[in-house]
Amino acid sequence: MQADPLVRNNVTVAGNPDARSTIVFVCGLGTDQSVWNRIIPSFRDDYRVVTFDNVGAIPANRSTFLTHKYRYLNITGYAQDLVEVCDALKLRSHTVLVGHSLGALASLVACVQRPQLFSRLALIGASPRYVNSGDYRGGFTKTDVDMVYEALMNDYESWARHFAGLAMANPHRPELAMRFAETLKDTPKDMMLTMLCSALQTDQRDKLPGIIQPTLVI
């Protein structure tokens, strides 16, 4: 594992350097930190703003992903990276996490691992478990998940376009789905399969009682 998390995760620090609080934006599946570009200006004056790229999201850290592939078969690998980034920046208790999708799950786990580090949590498009289990409804059956994997492996480009359209769900702004599809396709197929497995096969329901931070679920 690369020694410096700030290099490994291509960390960017912006906003107000004298602000009391820091907001850390954590990317979701198939995106890099540029996904936050239209959001960040609203917070620059009042917060120190941190963005970064998950391992595997950009060419510069894909060798790290391949070398430590098993670390990223589980959400805890992404959560550990997040904690290491925060420690490297010497962030303390006035840290707000905003996580999307896979990044939301990593944020949830990080808050349980280091509750004293984070003061508030915002989760976008997150679920502690995406697969149905007994009376629990996560939205996907096991057959659904197997079909997602099969579609990805058989025709990655078509899968990316379809997945992006479903995720954006905004037919009046097709450019959003097109942009997301392009970022998905930028990730090599085998790496995307690993990332998708880490999200769809996770079960973090046991972590929920450990969340002590005020939490906004979007």
The proportion of the chain whose per-residue pLDDT surpasses 90, expressed as a percent, equals: 79
Q: What is the DSSP letter of 21?
A: -
Residue 13 sits at φ, ψ, to 5 deg, of: -115, 125
For residue 60, give the DSSP letter.
Answer: G
| Confidence check: pLDDT of 16 > 80 | yes
Total domains in the fold of the chain: 1
Count other C-beta atoms under 10 Å from residue 45's C-beta.
Answer: 9
Provide the residue range defining the domain that includes 148. 5-217
Cross-strand partners of 166: none
pLDDT bin (cut points 50, 70, 90) of residue 57 is very high
CB atoms within 10 A of CB 193: 16
pLDDT per residue as tens digits for the range 118-145: 999 999 988 999 999 999 998 889 999 9
Mutual angle of helices 75-88 and 102-113, in 10-degree steps:
60
Could you count the other beta carbons within 10 Å of the beta carbon of residue 141? 12
pLDDT, one tens digit per residue, over 170-216 is 889 988 889 899 989 999 999 999 999 999 989 999 999 999 999 99
Quick one: average pLDDT of 134-158?
A: 92
CATH code assigned at 127: 3.40.50.1820
Q: Which of 17-21, 52-56, 160-164 has the lowest mean pLDDT?
A: 160-164
CA angle 26, 209, 32 (to 5 degrees): 10
